[in-house]
Structure 1
């Protein structure tokens, strides 16, 4: 078995986002190789409890590099730039831990996994005598400002500053540039990032999004009720997710289809909820929009199984795990043709809307949804097609691709040594 040293700041079982993808990479890689994992210690208890229940547990070794509680708060408060200073320090300490691991174990490949943002490729690429893999990498790109017309001035300013920083750092920041040069392989998290890396750094970049599906047996009853249509929206109430577009889409639909309902899941304890609930009142949508608040993931899956369409209006993402959860629950998706959702959703399981602007997009979303309301058998076929898409996007298939990359690297190294 080959030995992989995996640098993964965020790892936790039973989570989505970065911690969930970290956990799924670890446990699925461990089916094929020995995995030595450097991670932060926030979820140590959960990790060790869950690892002991795995048949591949003997192939996994965790090394914890904890940070203070206040640093963890900065990490999960997205947009808190103070975190990067502490994260850089964490990576330098991870380098020392990695050198100690290498001194006591044979390591065939070093893999920098997460956080997946391009700004921080870690420090393990500085170890020069072992092949280095980086990715999936995300974060290259910028927010489309045409969708911020109705946002508060502070949000607009933040988005502009973030775009400027992304453009400058993407071109000249030495850490990712050096890691790009050092890596045997670089994986891009979505097509946008893939095209950026290919145009600016290296032609051999690989497109491989950062998350995957598990095959899930979900009851699949036929839905042909033309007097009911339930849409589900799930996400954080911030400008990237564009919940306002979903509400405006409902407004476009209710004149013709008064039975349409939009179910919204997300934390309501913020100013965005206040502003958007007022928008619902002004548009007379109180009977069509149902606010569920922040609910357990199990309840989200139940809503997915009871809904007709998953409406995903985000304009700035990596590969959102909630899209894959939707497909796992046989729920067709209507979304923008951008970021990771544009790669995951195809014509067999949903409808993709081109990016345009905040005035045109509600019309485009409404047109796509109207088509599905009037073509229930085609919508039902999309639900049936989700089973095949689960296989195509499965963790097992993804990890097998990564193992083939590892084996190719090792084979190339042997040829060089000969």
Structure 2
């Protein structure tokens, strides 16, 4: 039985997105027969321990790394920019833990999965006599300048991010050492693939492409449900309310929807822009009664929202590979998204409508037309729904982990 050291800073059985990805990597590797030690943070320590015990995975060992003093309490907040400082400090401590574990267990593979950011590299490069797998990671994608109005004052952070990203490619010792030492680098979109190539630090045969998420395990047994054709199109948006998630663009598009289209939109998620949602609805002259704003809710409520919707709309302006697209397709929801970055790769052509980015106004208008098409053409919507569900049934963590381990472990 091969021994695997997994670096999964974000890892939780009770959250989606990256924490859900980290949890899926850890549990699926263990269920596939590997002896796994997973290094993670302390955010959901009790829930993780309880669920691991419930699954009775004797070959899965979690190592919860905290940072000194009360910094976990002050900095460990995924809805705040303090999370980046926490991750930096956590890596310093986790690298020492990893070295000690390797001295004891002599791992066959050291695999970094979360956070999935190319620019920050991984501390696993410090380990010797072990195969190092880095990724899947994103980070190469950039927000398009024609969408800066949807970022508001946060656009300056996008510019700063781009500068830091380019500087990191040249001066980051952590990234440089990662690329020099890694046996395999997995990237989740073509933007990141090109960024790795520009460094000229990695041989081409070590660079591989793979989408970084799959259908959550709890959704793998979903049964397809035919939704009744109703007059009202029930749209759903799920995500953290960050400028790059593009919720304001969705409101702009809804303001351009033909008056004959009867729709509602349920919005699930919290975050730094949550307090702006009602202001945006008023800004675009929309009818407040069409919107059901749930905020941050338990994952069970998120699932119910998927079940109650007719279509999923998520027009992220910069994203490596949005996990909620897979979640939505697992419930047979046809998708409206932008044809950029990870969204483009995550949604097959026959599973919805992918809007090519044009000017801000033209893009919003094309999204509005997509909403109208889903409303006016239930047969087309049903076809996309069936295709989405069938795609999701194949996009499982078992298949993804098997693909990676058979090729790269």
Q: TM-score, normalised by structure 1?
A: 0.88
Of 244, 248, 253, 2:248 maps to 244
TM superposition shift of 1:270:
4.4
TM superposition shift of 1:341:
1.9
Q: What does residue 211 of structure 1 align with?
A: 213
Q: 1:75 to 1:146 in 2, by over 3 A?
A: farther
TM superposition shift of 1:72:
5.3
Q: What does residue 262 of structure 1 align with?
A: 265
> Where in structure 1 are there 5+ consecutive unaligned residues?
408-418
Alignment of 1:135-150 (within 5 A): 135-149=135-149
Of 363, 384, 387, 1:385 maps to 387
> Could you say what secondary structure the match of 2:244 adopts?
coil
Q: What does residue 277 of structure 2 align with?
A: 273
Q: What does residue 229 of structure 2 align with?
A: 224
Q: What does residue 345 of structure 1 align with?
A: 347
Q: What does residue 22 of structure 2 align with?
A: 22
Structure 1 contact 237–273 (Cα < 8 Å) conserved = no
Structure 1 contact 218–330 (Cα < 8 Å) conserved = no
Q: TM-score, normalised by structure 2?
A: 0.90
Q: 1:270 to 1:146 in 2, by over 3 A?
A: same
Q: What does residue 233 of structure 1 align with?
A: 237
> Could you say what secondary structure the match of 2:62 adopts?
strand
Q: 1:128 to 1:141 in 2, by over 3 A?
A: same
Q: What does residue 293 of structure 1 align with?
A: 295
- Could you report, residue by residue, the CA deviation over 1:61-107 in whole angstroms, capped at 9, with x for unpaired residues? 12221125534543435563x65555344323323222222222231
Q: How many residues align?
A: 400
Q: 1:263 to 1:174 in 2, by over 3 A?
A: same
> Could you say what secondary structure the match of 1:149 adopts?
helix
Q: What does residue 12 of structure 1 align with?
A: 12
Instruction: Say what the alpha-carbon RMSD is for the aligned residues.
Output: 2.3
TM superposition shift of 1:168:
2.1
Distance 2:316 2:29 in 1: 30
Q: What does residue 166 of structure 2 align with?
A: 167
Distance 2:282 2:89 in 1: 44
Q: What does residue 335 of structure 2 align with?
A: 333
Structure 1 contact 116–137 (Cα < 8 Å) conserved = yes
Larger Rg computed on CA atoms: 1
Q: 1:393 to 1:237 in 2, by over 3 A?
A: same
Distance 1:79 1:173 in 2: 24
Of 362, 367, 370, 1:360 maps to 362
> Could you say what secondary structure the match of 1:58 adopts?
coil
Alignment of 1:66-77 (within 5 A): 66-67=66-67, 68-71=69-72, 73-77=74-78
